[in-house]
Amino acid sequence: MMWFFHIENIAFSCYGYPVSYVEAIATLFGLISVYLASRAHVFTWSTGIVNEFFLGLVFFQVQLYADVLLQVYFFVVSVYGWCHWNTLKQHTVKNKMELKSVFGLLALLAFATAIAGYTVARLHVLLPDYVYIPAAYPYTDSFIMVASIMATLLLAQRRIENWFLWIAIDVVCVMLYYKKEIYFLSLEYLIFLGMATYGYFHWKTKLTHD
C-alpha cells in the first residue's frame, strides 16, 4: 500500500510532466479548499485537511522540511477554523486590522522567517538520524511556512488581510516549486494566486455591504 504514497508512483502525465497520485490528490483538494475559502465557506477546512496530508507526503520526499512541519500546523488550525467558523454567521467577514497591528505582523514575519530559516538550514546537522539531505532553499521555504501560519490564523479569524499574505505566498511558491521541478504544484499555486486575488475582492465586497 505504501507504494501509492510515493511521488514516483505516477497517475498520469501532463504535457510530458509525470504527475504522482499524491501530487494529484493534493492539487485537487487544494483547489477545492482555496475556492471554498474565497467564498467564505466552512467546508474549506475539511477539504483542506485532505490537501495537507498529501502535501506533507510530497514535501518530505523533495526535502522541503519546513513545508512538512507547516502541514502539521495547518491540520491543527484547520480543526480550530472548522470549529470557529461553525460558531459564526455564514460568510461573515471581520473588520480590517489597525495599521499598527499590520506593521507588527510584518515585523514578526521577518523575524520568525530568519529564525526558522537558520534552523531549517541546520536540520540535517541537528537531526542526522532523520534528515539525511540538507534542506533546499531553507529561507524561502521558511518564509512560506511562517507567512502561511499567519495567513491561516487570519483566515480562521475571518480577517480580510489573510488574502494579502496568501497572494505573496503564492507568488513565492510558483517560483520555488518550479525551481524544484514540481511543475504541477507550481501550476496549482499559479491558480491559487488568481483565487487569492478573487478571494480578496469577494471578501472586500462583503465587508463593504455588511
- For the stretch 60-119, pLDDT in tens is 888 777 678 878 888 898 988 888 887 765 556 666 777 788 889 999 999 999 999 998
Residues, the chain, total? 210
Is the confidence at residue 132, as pLDDT, over 70? yes
Question: What's residue 169's pLDDT?
Answer: 96
* CB 188 within 8 Å of CB 174: no
Question: What's residue 206's pLDDT?
Answer: 75
Mean pLDDT of 120-129: 79
HEC profile of 105-144: HHHHHHHHHHHHHHHHHCHHHHCCCCCCCCCCCHHHHHHH
Question: What's residue 196's pLDDT?
Answer: 93
- For the stretch 162-210, pLDDT in tens is 999 999 999 999 999 888 887 877 888 899 999 999 999 988 887 766 5
* CB 163 within 8 Å of CB 199: yes
159/140 Cα distance (integer angstroms):
25
Question: What's residue 210's pLDDT?
Answer: 55
Grade residue 41 by pLDDT with cuts at 50, 70 and 90: confident
